[in-house]
Amino acid sequence: MSNLSEKPNQRRWREMIFLAMLAACPPLSTDMYLPAIPTIAESWQVALSTVNLSLVLWFVGFSIALLISGPLSDRHGRKPVLMGGLVLFTLASLGSAVSLNVTMLITCRILQGIGAGGPSAMCLAICRDRYEGLERKKVLATVSVLLTLAPMLSPSIGTLMLSQFQWQAIFILQAGFGVLLIILSLFQHESAAQLIDTPLLKLMGRYGKLTSNRNYIRSTIALGILIGPYLGYVAIAPIVYIKLYGLSEGWFSFFFAFNAILYMIGAMCSTRISHHVGDHRLLTACILGTVVGGIGIISVGHLSPWAFALTMGLITSCFGMTRPISQHIILEQVQTDVGAASSMLVFFQFIVGAICMTLAGLGWPSPISAFGIMAVSFAIVVIILWLAIKKQLLNHENLEPENQEPPKIEAC
């Protein structure tokens, strides 16, 4: 292959890795920090629930930042919002590392969440700006594959850091990640094709315009709910593997990574399978697969760690296949206010995820059965909504035709 043909592919790979790193800010900020929560509570002699506020309120700051960063990027461009968020993320990470008490830590964590909101929202916005059609689906699928490495490795990295250093080292590592992203962002060009010259308060009102876009709102609600059982698993995994099955932290990391690998496989197969069966058929099949996985968890998930892991793995792999396609479908519904649309999508998904994490973490008499019922319930809601809107989306010609030439799938 000639150098001329290699350069565009190499450039696209660099961009996809960069986008995946931006999207990795939330899981690196939360999953890496989870093993340190008991240690911090013990070192400061405070209640575990108090230290947990640094996790819960992180999501509050993150959610608020999502809604603000999207419209800001539509007015000032993606790069200024991206750089501002990364600088705040880095400084807040350093502040967390030098915190003298739990109040200072919680404050810095809130600021860190606000900083992480910008990169997360800009990841989808930049992808929407730079890519179209099948190429966007391929990029989203590859970014999903690369992004899987963050939740797969973060708990192990956090545990390793705690075994070698004090808990502050985790936040220093996060700050280093922020510095790396700042350096990489300096070489990025502005991706927004056109900016909206509107005062900020009026710009926030652009969300009202988005709510009048029925296809966007319907697809965001219907397909955004898909993330619920996947994020609910994050909350229940320690309860199942460590508390119920009595496994070590090492085995917990193994099963957590196993689940992430199945997500990666699903994302890698997404565009190829979609070409053969079509977007809408694949989405329908994967939603039904989530129902089957949830029923499996209810039926046999309590028998052994592997029984739970394999039935949950069906849900995870189905979500991995649907995520790039669903994101593509949702973003196809907007032509302007792309930043606001990307922010609202991620915000909605995190709200759904927070609800599922809360439900999964409640003190159920049978946590595994309760989680299985939740997964089945959410999947049934999704398939009802999806079947209701699928025809309108197809009629609007927002889904890719099923007879196009299949894209090459980027594999790790």
236-258 confidence digits (pLDDT tens): 787 788 778 888 767 877 888 88
Model confidence at 145: pLDDT above 70 = no
Which CATH topology does 209-400 take? Growth Hormone; Chain: A; (1.20.1250)
Model confidence at 2: pLDDT above 70 = no
Question: What is the DSSP annotation of 225-253?
Answer: TTHHHHHHHHHHHHIIIIIIS---HHHHH
Question: Any alpha helices (H) in 77-148, and if so which ranges?
Answer: 78-97, 102-130, 133-147
Handedness of CA 137, 343, 377, 317 (dihedral sign): positive
Q: What value does the CA radius of gyration of the chain take, rounded to a whole number of Å?
A: 21
CATH homologous superfamily of 1-204 equals MFS general substrate transporter like domains (1.20.1250.20)
Token digits of residue 9: 């592919």
User: Model's pTM, two decimal places?
Assistant: 0.69
pLDDT of residue 300: 93
pLDDT of residue 293: 94
DSSP 77: -
Angle formed at CA 219 by CA 213 and CA 224, multiple of 5 degrees: 125
Locate CATH 1.20.1250.20 in the chain.
1-204, 209-400
Q: How far is CA 379 from CA 285, 290, 372, in A?
A: 11, 6, 11
Sole residue written with tokens 């090459």: 408
Token digits of residue 312: 């949950």
Model confidence at 412: pLDDT above 60 = no
- Are 227 and 319 contacting, i.e. CB atoms less than 8 angstroms apart? yes
Q: In this predicted structure, which of 8-17, 177-186, 192-201 has the lowest mean pLDDT?
A: 192-201
What is d(CA 343, CA 20) in angstroms, rounded to the nearest whole number? 16
What is d(CA 238, CA 326) in angstroms, rounded to the nearest whole number? 29
Q: In this predicted structure, which of 75-89, 128-142, 192-206, 228-242 has the lowest mean pLDDT?
A: 192-206
Read off the pLDDT band of 309 (50, 70, 90).
very high
Q: What is the dihedral of CA 79, 323, 376, 233, to 10 degrees?
A: -60
- Are 227 and 352 contacting, i.e. CB atoms less than 8 angstroms apart? yes
Read off the pLDDT band of 268 (50, 70, 90).
confident
**327-374, pLDDT tens digit by residue?**
777 877 776 666 677 777 877 887 887 788 778 767 788 889 999 999
Read off the pLDDT band of 397 (50, 70, 90).
very low
